[in-house]
Amino acid sequence: MEHKKNDSENHIYLSLFLTFFMIGAFTFGGGYAMIPVIQREIVDKKGWLKKDDLLEMLAVSESTPGPIAINSATFVGYRIGGIGGAFFSTLGVVLPAFVIISLLSFVLDAFSHIKEVKYAFMGIRAGVLALILKAALSMFLQCKKDIFSLFIMVSAFILVAVFSISPVFIILGCALLGIIFTLLMKRRIKK
Amino acid sequence: MILLELFITFFKIGLFTFGGGYAMVPLINAEVLEKGWMTGEQLVNFIAVSESTPGPFAVNISTYIGMETGGILGALCATLGVILPSFIVILAVARFIDAFRKSTLMEGVFTGIKPGAVGLLFAAVISVGLTTLFPDGINGDVFTSPLFLITLITFILMVILSFKKLHPILMIVLSGIIGIAAGHIFDIPV
């Protein structure tokens, strides 16, 4: 997208910063919860992007490393205002969480010794376990279930859960096997 | 040096996480617990806090761990670390978006990583499950202890409610209330 220099450029930076600051301040749970808010603010209200761009943003955010929220903010910011736009959008989306958690970390430490708080977290940990299990199940349902995918899933699970291999190595290994598998499949189709 | 260590660790976490939210849990679990920056119990507690405060999970957790281990500068280094891979990669990719999305290499990477991430998250469920259900390890009479039974019942109840699409924050509030009530009724030592 073309953008004019100087005043209008500063204006777009400020506007991007404020918009993503709002998005960061009012979405809970991050990631996918942020997508409808980005659509409302960036597509519907500001008209900075089309709905197709949003789908593209989601596809890119999912297929690059890093949290979806950060990827989306950087991508939208870059599209609208170049590298400066990317910087201010990302800063905007990060700042509310950074400030809130920095302040909260003092409070959390002060309260964590109270009996009621300990009891509450005893229950909450069970709730969080349920949330993570649900996330894992819905990821499983969305994933392909051919022999190769299931093999990778089970191997990754066993290597980490039983043999405590670092997830970093698992991700690298999965990427490598994925490349080999895809190349082999393409070659077979060509034949 | 703790600041550099925070930056590098979270850079690694940002670089090797694909997808949002809980996709980051397996890496945090492995890297942060191993370094002793947090116990398993603290991590699970903080996931609840993060779910109930605004902003992306990645920023919440990196800020918190950074703050706890290295103060405000620690928080800054950890958060910068977790963001930087995203920022660099997106800037690189946004220019060549079509080439990127159509490349066989990237297709292959995702053919492997997507199912891999599912396996990793289930492994994290086991790890978090063990610290949650058996905080003092598994021994003879742990299965009849009130702590274990309350946690198990709350967990099963919350799994059912999560499939009834109860909002995550309400799930956290409800399980917190159950925890307080059960803790007092059975006078669980904490």
Q: Give the residue among B148, B158, B128, B135 at the shortest CA–CA distance from B47.
A: B128
A122 contacts in B (CB within 8 Å)?
Answer: 147, 150-151, 179, 182-183, 188, 190
Question: Using one digit for the tens of pLDDT, what is the confidence trace for A131-171?
Answer: 999 989 988 998 899 999 999 999 999 999 999 999 999 99
8 Å CB contact of B116 and A170: yes
The answer to whether B111 contacts chain A (CB < 8 Å) is: yes
B57-95 helix and B40-51 helix, angle to the nearest 10 degrees: 70
How many whole angstroms separate alpha carbon A76 and alpha carbon B23?
22
| pLDDT at A82 (0 to 100) | 93
What's chain B's Rg over C-alpha atoms? 19
Which pair of structure tokens corresponds to residue B26? 């397996």
Rounded (5°) CA angle B129-A67-B158: 30
How many whole angstroms separate alpha carbon B7 and alpha carbon B1?
10
Domain boundaries, chain B: 2-104
**pLDDT band with cut points at 50, 70 and 90 for residue A1:** very low
Torsion on CA atoms A47, A98, B12, A143, rounded to nearest 10: -50
The number of C-beta contacts closer than 8 angstroms across A and B is: 394
Q: Please give the model's pTM, rounded to 2 decimal places.
A: 0.86
For chain B, the distance separating the N- and C-terminal CA atoms, rounded to the nearest angstrom, is: 35
Question: Using one digit for the tens of pLDDT, what is the confidence trace for B10-57?
Answer: 999 999 998 767 888 999 999 998 899 999 999 999 999 988 888 899
How many whole angstroms separate alpha carbon A169 and alpha carbon A91?
30
Q: Is the dihedral of CA A105, B128, A162, B109 positive or negative?
A: negative
How many whole angstroms separate alpha carbon A102 and alpha carbon B61?
10
Domain boundaries, chain A: 6-111, 112-142, 143-191
8 Å CB contact of B116 and A144: no
Percent of chain B with pLDDT over 90: 59
- What number is the ipTM of this complex? 0.89
List, as ranges, residues 47-106 from A with C-beta within 8 Å of B. 56, 59-71, 74-75, 78-79, 83, 86, 90, 93-94, 96-98, 100-102, 104-105
| pLDDT at B189 (0 to 100) | 83
A68 contacts in B (CB within 8 Å)?
Answer: 19-21, 56
A70 contacts in B (CB within 8 Å)?
Answer: 14, 56, 58-59, 82-83, 86-87
Percent of chain B with pLDDT over 70: 99
Say if residues B10 and B81 touch (Cβ distance below 8 Å): yes
How many whole angstroms separate alpha carbon A54 and alpha carbon A41?
12
Question: Using one digit for the tens of pLDDT, what is the confidence trace for A29-86?
Answer: 666 778 888 888 888 888 888 888 888 888 888 888 888 899 999 999 999 999 999 9
A65 contacts in B (CB within 8 Å)?
Answer: 14-18, 85-86, 89
**pLDDT band with cut points at 50, 70 and 90 for residue A190:** confident
> With 70 as the cut, is the pLDDT of residue B137 above it?
yes
Q: What is the DSSP letter of A44?
A: I
User: In this complex, which of A32, A75, A96 lies closest to B94 when CB atoms are compared?
Assistant: A75
